[in-house]
Amino acid sequence: LGALYSRNVQCKRLKLKCDRRAPCSSCVKRDAAVKCEYSVEAKEKVDVQSLHNRILLLEN
């Protein structure tokens, strides 16, 4: 499964580089430090069917 990481919501929306600080330097430069919020997302999308197939293979 993919690892989890924090991503700044504003930087993601505006497609800016984020240094993951609180507040990040991009938000500080834009005078938007108050809006510098992070969300946790999965790094990779998981293919449920392939995981199910792997479980079946391991159980047999």
pTM higher than 0.85: no
- SS3 annotation, 43-54: CCCCCHHHHHHH
Q: Give every CB contact of residue 40 below 8 A, 6+ residues apart in sequence.
A: 4, 5, 6, 7
Confidence band of 48 (pLDDT split at 50, 70, 90): confident
Given a cut of 50, whether residue 1 has pLDDT beyond it is: no
Please state which architecture CATH assigns to domain 4-59.
Irregular (4.10)
What the block records as the tokens of 60 is 């047999």
